[in-house]
Amino acid sequence: MSEANHDHAARLAAVRAEMQRLALDYLIVRSTDRYLNEYVPHDESTREWLTGFSGSLGDALVGHEAAWLFVDGRYHAQADREVDLSRWTVVKNTLGVSNERACGERLIELAKARGAALAVGYEPDRYAVSTLEAFEKQLLGHAIALRPASPSPVEAARGAVAPGIIGTGRVRVLDEASVGRTVREKVADVAAWLAPRRASALWVSKLDEIAWLTNLRGDEMAYQATFRAEALVTATELLVHVHVAPVDDALRAARPAVRFVSLQELRSAVAALGAAGAKARVVADPASVSVAQRDALAALGAEVVPLASPVVAAKAKKNPAELAAMKRALGRADGVVAEAQRWLKARVAEGARVSEVDFAREVERLFLAAGAVGLSFKVISAFGLNGAIVHHPPSETTLVREGELMLLDTGCYFEEGYATDLTRTFFVGRPGVEPTAAQKRLFTLVLKAAIAGMTARIPRNANGAQLDGITRAPLWREGVDFAHGTGHGVGINVHEAPPGVSKLSTTQFEEGHVFSIEPGLYVEGVGGVRIENLCTVVADPAQADWLRVVPLTFSPLDERLIDDALLDAAEREFLVNYAANKQ
């Protein structure tokens, strides 16, 4: 047994001892944290500490005799490599099956096999209210009793972990002209929304929503432009409790519309909202507020009102200033990705030893040299056969050589505080080294799908599932498909909802939405191709009730991989305009 596996075996045993003490038959360990972040700092992830799996999404279920890790199609191969398969069973979900649903199905099977009630612990600070409610509904009628475990048995076994800081640890102040709306204007909008709902305040715990409301950014956590905090918006003010970053006089002076408060002051403000014995109505979005936070608000005497936050829709619909800021960032990122391709091709051509990890490090170096303040997600650098793994973690031992494809999926944050996200698949080879017909066909089919998505005309009430189908159509005609969504919203976080582009998305598009179009094809034993561009929708000049998808990113496409015979006239015209950065 390796030293790492021995360590994780001891951790699993310690967690099971805690479960025994709490009389729990099973324990659910989620991939998120108290902020419901997608990207959790490695040292703070209870799931990663217990399992060894480092992917951004994947939930664990621990029993006394067996344990399971649930992952989606992006992480099937990675999970197999990172966990001890003698102790963990990796459950590989198909497209459309969430980790929560797969976990629930396994619990139902276990309850039926046992023939008696199961006591199942969960972490209340890691479940959004709506997520837990859907989970409870799935388990309804089965002999399964969900029990909140706080602190989690994992935290009890691991011990306290102080929040880590990777950057300056300070909050960054944005020029409000660059984001189009001042804090006062945003607070006034929320207050106007609260009034007809007879609500006293809105509770905000999602970090990107706090960053948006305050027009502030942070760099304290990897792959995020946010800072740890929680907030309350009343009819007259925005109160923010910052958890880790320092709040000094300069920050207070830069944001006079924000009242920075201590945790006790924030709690007192909630408690003081009630009047004459009546409970204050505090809106808490069930999709973004944890069960623990909801319960804490109720304990302060508030009537918790479960409504979707108005911040979600407002943040997703980028105003002209925000779109301009995003375009500036995306243009700089396009240049970095193009430069990274030139660097790799030149190094390999001169016979240098370059691994996938080396290339990933160079990409990060180029971003930082171009002024980036950090990455928006971990660089995906997949060479040759590894391209068939959707989210392949770069390897030190896989060396890049001529004649194969390289898939690069990467993004960063510049000072504007909006995520960039771009995928390019390109051929590694000097002039005279030509791609195979099979490589060109694979690339061109994916390119046709990308063009279909980036040139789509859709009615104003069209949703993400419909655009997903439009994008996949060229692949479906060839009898091929890919097992992930076509795209996701992008904003302060690299993954933001709304909008979404997938077979299951019901989001209707609005002008100002920014999202990715990223079809791919992945062939085990051959390799993979993915092409990703960020896009938005604009009013169709020909029809007022229609929208047109347009790209926002223009990083060059590898012309050597394009089989012109597979393109039609409209696709060729698109490529000419694309090369000239014309929408």
Q: How many angstroms separate the CA atoms of 342 and 218, rounded?
A: 32
Q: How many angstroms separate the CA atoms of 89 and 83, rounded?
A: 9
For residues 538-543, average pLDDT: 95
Which homologous superfamily does the CATH classification assign to the domain defined by 172-311? Creatinase/prolidase N-terminal domain (3.40.350.10)
Beta pairing class for 380-383 and 405-410: antiparallel
List of residues 6+ apart from 479 with CB closer than 8 A? none
In 3D space, the residue among 60, 63, 62 whose CA is nearest the CA of residue 32 turns out to be: 60
For residues 208-221, average pLDDT: 97
For residues 65-84, average pLDDT: 91
CATH number for the domain whose boundaries are 3-158: 3.40.350.10
Across 489-513, b (16+ Cβ under 10 Å) vs e yields bbbbbbbbbbbbbbeebebbbbebb
Domain 320-579: top CATH class: alpha beta
* Same-fold call for 3-158 versus 172-311: yes
For residues 30-39, average pLDDT: 95
Handedness of CA 168, 366, 531, 580 (dihedral sign): positive
Name the band, by pLDDT with cuts 50, 70 and 90, for residue 500. Answer: very high
In 3D space, the residue among 153, 165, 159 whose CA is nearest the CA of residue 17 turns out to be: 153
Name the band, by pLDDT with cuts 50, 70 and 90, for residue 215. Answer: very high
Residue 242 three-state SS: strand
Look up residue 98 and give its amino acid.
S
pLDDT value of residue 276:
65
Name the band, by pLDDT with cuts 50, 70 and 90, for residue 2. Answer: very low
Name the band, by pLDDT with cuts 50, 70 and 90, for residue 278. Answer: confident
- The domain spans of the chain are 3-158, 172-311, 320-579
pLDDT value of residue 4:
55
pLDDT value of residue 393:
85
Mean pLDDT of the chain: 95
pLDDT value of residue 1:
40
Give pLDDT tens digits for 428-438: 999 989 999 99
For residue 178 the two structure tokens come to 């660059």
pLDDT at 171 over 80: yes
Alpha-carbon separation of residue 266 from 36, 260, 381 (angstroms):
20, 9, 44
Write down the residue that tokens 């918790």 correspond to.
304
pLDDT at 23 over 80: yes
List of residues 6+ apart from 17 with CB closer than 8 A? 157
pLDDT at 465 over 70: yes
pLDDT at 233 over 50: yes
Q: How many angstroms separate the CA atoms of 453 and 160, rounded?
A: 47
CA angle 344, 350, 352 (to 5 degrees): 70
Q: Quick one: DSSP state of residue 273?
A: T
Q: How many angstroms separate the CA atoms of 49 and 153, rounded?
A: 12
Give pLDDT tens digits for 235-269: 999 999 999 999 999 999 999 999 999 999 999 99
For residue 377 the two structure tokens come to 């997600």
Write down the residue that tokens 């409790």 correspond to.
241
Q: Are the C-beta atoms of residues 345 and 428 closer than 8 Å to each other?
A: yes
Q: How many angstroms separate the CA atoms of 244 and 220, rounded?
A: 9
